[in-house]
Amino acid sequence: MRKEPVYSADFDFLPGHPAGVCLPQGFIAGAVYCGLKTYGEGKLDLGILVSSVPASVAGVFTTNLVRAAPVLWDEAVVQRGQAQAVIYNAGIANACTGAQGLADTREMATLTADKLGLSPELVLVTSTGVIGHLLPMHKIQQGVAALELVEGETAGLTASFCIMTTDTRPKRCVARLQLGGKQVLIGGMCKGAGMIHPNMATMLCYLTTDAAATPEFLQAIIRELVQESFNAITVDGDTSTNDSVLALANGLAGNPTLGQAASAEDELKFKEALRAVMVYLAKEIARDGEGATKLIEIWVRGAASKEEAHLVARTAAGSNLTKAAIFGSDPNWGRVIAAAGRSGAKFAPEKVDIYFGEIPLMLAGVPQPFEKAEAQEALKGPTVYITLDLHAGEDDALAWGCDLTQEYVVINSEYET
Amino acid sequence: MRKEPVYSADFDFLPGHPAGVCLPQGFIAGAVYCGLKTYGEGKLDLGILVSSVPASVAGVFTTNLVRAAPVLWDEAVVQRGQAQAVIYNAGIANACTGAQGLADTREMATLTADKLGLSPELVLVTSTGVIGHLLPMHKIQQGVAALELVEGETAGLTASFCIMTTDTRPKRCVARLQLGGKQVLIGGMCKGAGMIHPNMATMLCYLTTDAAATPEFLQAIIRELVQESFNAITVDGDTSTNDSVLALANGLAGNPTLGQAASAEDELKFKEALRAVMVYLAKEIARDGEGATKLIEIWVRGAASKEEAHLVARTAAGSNLTKAAIFGSDPNWGRVIAAAGRSGAKFAPEKVDIYFGEIPLMLAGVPQPFEKAEAQEALKGPTVYITLDLHAGEDDALAWGCDLTQEYVVINSEYET
């Protein structure tokens, strides 16, 4: 069994579109290698994304008590509601770096602002990489100076590579829709492969749109949609100090402003398209989890509340034992029910059904006979579908994780992230 | 830095003593191979531990919502306060087995009771192994019939092997003390290597003593000591359906009854000796975690409360990223502070100190320069000591985990536990 995605509005969805965040009108970007990625000599590691006009900005940040300098900076930008550029680097997270770290973030914003002729208050900053190291600011200065802004596919493509750390591939997409007779584009890109867990992680997501929207509207829907996208994925249970989802809406599409003059129908349509973008990007992160060979989709049905459905789905998706079993294509459903049992959700174990793919392995709490070879087959694809029906209510939720492999251990015992 | 264990009473501690649970007066045991351990042909997998007289009994069980049949049975025995025997099997957990599972547990108790001439209500039952499989009761019947009870070292030794699943070695110890002029012995054994997490896991612990004690006294101290022993270890974050800590006190030592006629001083002495037994056994489980090569001891100091100290210590000990770094002897302290930050405890990141062994890596929130080779050296021993001082209060706590290795993944992707 699997939940088919349902969207209550029409839009086009373009997964992997190379232009990504630079397809919406007015967004351009540039990237350079400035020497921060010590493990990937010559790989792009510093970039800037710019809107030709100031944009409404929204953001959601890590729930970790330990927050990196750029997170503190960006929260203030988001509070003011307007931004026009983002500077990002990969290789060093600028987390646990004290007062010097804050000064370095401010300098990154200032360097960008000076280059573009903006106020630093309009510049967002994100950093990802190893914790506890100071940024070599002379390299960043040289990088910003050298950086050339381009448009379209080159811009979107290089941006999506530039933000990668242990990611094996870039993650990009675009949604296209009509609002009030105008074409609106939403572009997105993200990075993240380790330190990924519900409630965000070393996860950075950048969303651009040429829609006109108030910052309040944007903030409200980003916050809501994060729950079912970036807060519904897990790679390793470790959350990070730097997580950020940032959205910029520059209004160049000329649609009636969302949150102000737009119809309720248009607002719904925009939200549904943004949902598709965010869920796609979140799943791409889980699928590209460090060392992963499979995406695991957990669908919890019949929960007493939406919260409990999420809780069970996320706990099951995050269980090391379940993840290792899936890697070995072992239909070990006992580990799934044990994970559900420790999730904190209330249900009657004797009512629960569990399916791996289409195969019922437990019905009403009773183990079902099954062909092991057939069940193993269901676990061999690039996406594994596991369904739990708790029979405790009407709510459901999805969560995504990945399998746990020897490669995860190799990556994380040898590479200082 | 490391916390030196402090005990406020005198007793002898004998780690690994072969007689284990059969050193205290009146305890004998027997074990057979009856065919439940499919992965270890010929290995002991069924055993009985008996006291020559009825004993006060106490028990603490899994917090997982999904609880195996033997857990339900044992809770009723513990409620009545008296027991005289325990039957245990390894290979099949008898969890998620519905009404048939409950009937099978009852039959195990009855077979044992009939063999020994006792009431089934005096027999505890524990099972460990794969979830969702029914016990082959004819094998258990044959096993119980074939089983011979022996005493001393042979009894304690075989018992500690019989309960193992993916454990690589048995875990046993003895404490010896004087209470009211009488020698009292406490024996302990336990098993557990995967599905190990704070709040117990596929973890079974059996404690025997010839001390006289009321069931209420025994229950109160077991419940308290579990917090700093079996609830302070983690292997993989997965808790189990079968966890049980069981204690039997048969009174043959003839001491003034603890909880009734004993002095407060004697009660403290017994508790301290039992603390040593339980902490030792818990650490043995973490050290023998599936695939582990190192024990990780996390000491959190300066917490605002005992609960927060535990929370931070357990979260850090359970972080996959920290565990993988320790495997690779990578002094990646950023992962430790990130784990502390997501634990839910309140502290000011800019005040925190972190030490790996004796080496300060972060002081007052600021990264310290250190010799990488020297820090790596501190991570190469069989036990790795990590200390966090939160500077948020006066409370402290220890937690234990183990490193995350490729071998963990191999074990859990290939073996159906």
| pLDDT digit string, tens, across residues A69-96 | 999 999 999 999 999 999 999 999 999 8
Q: Report the C-alpha gap between B280 and B11 in whole angstroms.
A: 14
Among A64, A96, A321, beta carbon nearest to B236: A321
Taking contacts as CB-CB distances below 8 angstroms, the residues of chain B near A192 are none
Nearest to B285 by CA among B343, B379, B198, B381: B198
Predicted pLDDT at A416: 47
> How big is chain A, counted in residues?
417
Q: Is B202 a catalytic residue?
A: yes
Among A63, A325, A366, beta carbon nearest to B98: A366
Q: How would you class B166 by CB atoms within 10 Å of its CB: exposed for 0-12, middle for 13-18, buried for 19 or more?
A: buried
Q: Report the C-alpha gap between B110 and B117 in whole angstroms.
A: 10
Predicted pLDDT at A8: 85
Nearest residue of A to residue B412 by CA position?
A324
Predicted pLDDT at A102: 96
DSSP H helical ranges for A55-151: 69-80, 98-116, 137-146
Q: What is the pLDDT along chain B (417 residues), one digit of tens a residue?
A: 788 888 888 999 999 999 999 999 999 999 999 999 876 566 899 999 999 999 999 999 988 888 999 999 999 999 999 999 999 999 999 998 989 999 999 999 999 999 999 999 999 999 998 888 899 999 999 999 999 999 999 999 999 999 998 888 999 999 999 999 999 999 999 998 766 554 444 689 999 999 999 999 999 999 999 999 998 887 766 677 888 999 999 999 999 999 999 999 999 999 999 999 999 999 999 999 888 999 999 999 999 999 999 999 999 998 888 899 999 998 888 889 988 998 989 999 999 999 999 999 999 998 899 988 888 888 988 999 999 999 999 999 999 999 998 888 888 887 444
Q: Is B366 on the interface with A (CB under 8 A)?
A: yes
Predicted pLDDT at B32: 96
Active-site annotation holder among A97, A126, A128, A202: A202
Q: What residues 195-234 of chain A have any CB closer than 8 A to a CB of chain B?
A: 195, 197, 199
Q: Which residue type does A165 have?
A: T
The ipTM estimated for the assembled molecules is 0.77
Q: In terms of pLDDT, which residue wins out, A108 or B322? A: A108
User: Cβ–Cβ of B132/A95 closer than 8 Å?
Assistant: no
Domains (ranges, CATH) in chain A?
Answer: 12-287 (3.60.70.12), 295-414 (3.10.20.340)
| pLDDT digit string, tens, across residues A314-360 | 999 988 888 999 999 988 888 899 899 989 899 999 999 999 999 99
User: Alpha carbon of B270 to those of B57, B74, B259, B393: distances in Å?
Assistant: 16, 24, 11, 30
Among A132, A238, A366, beta carbon nearest to B321: A238
Among all chains, which residue has been given the structure tokens 């409630």? A199
DSSP H helical ranges for A203-319: 215-228, 264-287, 306-318
Predicted pLDDT at B196: 57
Q: Is B131 on the interface with A (CB under 8 A)?
A: yes
Q: Are A283 and A209 in contact (CB under 8 A)?
A: no
Instruction: Give strand pairing partners of A300.
Output: A388, A397
Q: What percent of chain A has pLDDT over 70?
A: 95
Q: Is A408 on the interface with B (CB under 8 A)?
A: yes
Q: Is A133 on the interface with B (CB under 8 A)?
A: yes
User: Cβ–Cβ of B238/A362 closer than 8 Å?
Assistant: no
For the entire predicted model, the pTM comes to 0.85
Q: Report the C-alpha gap between B405 and A407 in whole angstroms.
A: 10
Predicted pLDDT at A314: 92
Taking contacts as CB-CB distances below 8 angstroms, the residues of chain A near B61 are none
What number is the average pLDDT over the span A200-216?
88
| pLDDT digit string, tens, across residues A366-413 | 889 998 888 888 898 899 999 999 999 999 999 999 999 988 888 888
Taking contacts as CB-CB distances below 8 angstroms, the residues of chain B near A64 are 338, 341-342
Q: Residue B184 in 3-state DSSP?
A: strand
> How big is chain B, counted in residues?
417
Q: Is B37 on the interface with A (CB under 8 A)?
A: no
Q: Tally A–B CB contacts below 8 A.
A: 213
Q: Is B38 on the interface with A (CB under 8 A)?
A: no
Predicted pLDDT at A5: 80
What's the CA angle centered on B287, arms B281 and B290, to 5 degrees?
Answer: 115
For A6, other C-beta atoms within 10 Å of its C-beta total: 6
Lowest mean per-residue pLDDT among A33-37, A116-120, A201-205:
A201-205
Predicted pLDDT at B237: 65
- pLDDT confidence of A237, banded at 50, 70, 90? low
User: Cβ–Cβ of B412/A320 closer than 8 Å?
Assistant: yes
Active-site annotation holder among B128, B158, B165, B202: B202
For A153, other C-beta atoms within 10 Å of its C-beta total: 14
Closest chain B C-alpha to A265 CA, distance in angstroms: 39
Q: Report the C-alpha gap between A355 and A389 in whole angstroms.
A: 9
Nearest residue of A to residue B92 by CA position?
A334
- How large is the greatest C-alpha to C-alpha distance in chain A, in angstroms? 69
Taking contacts as CB-CB distances below 8 angstroms, the residues of chain B near A362 are 96, 132
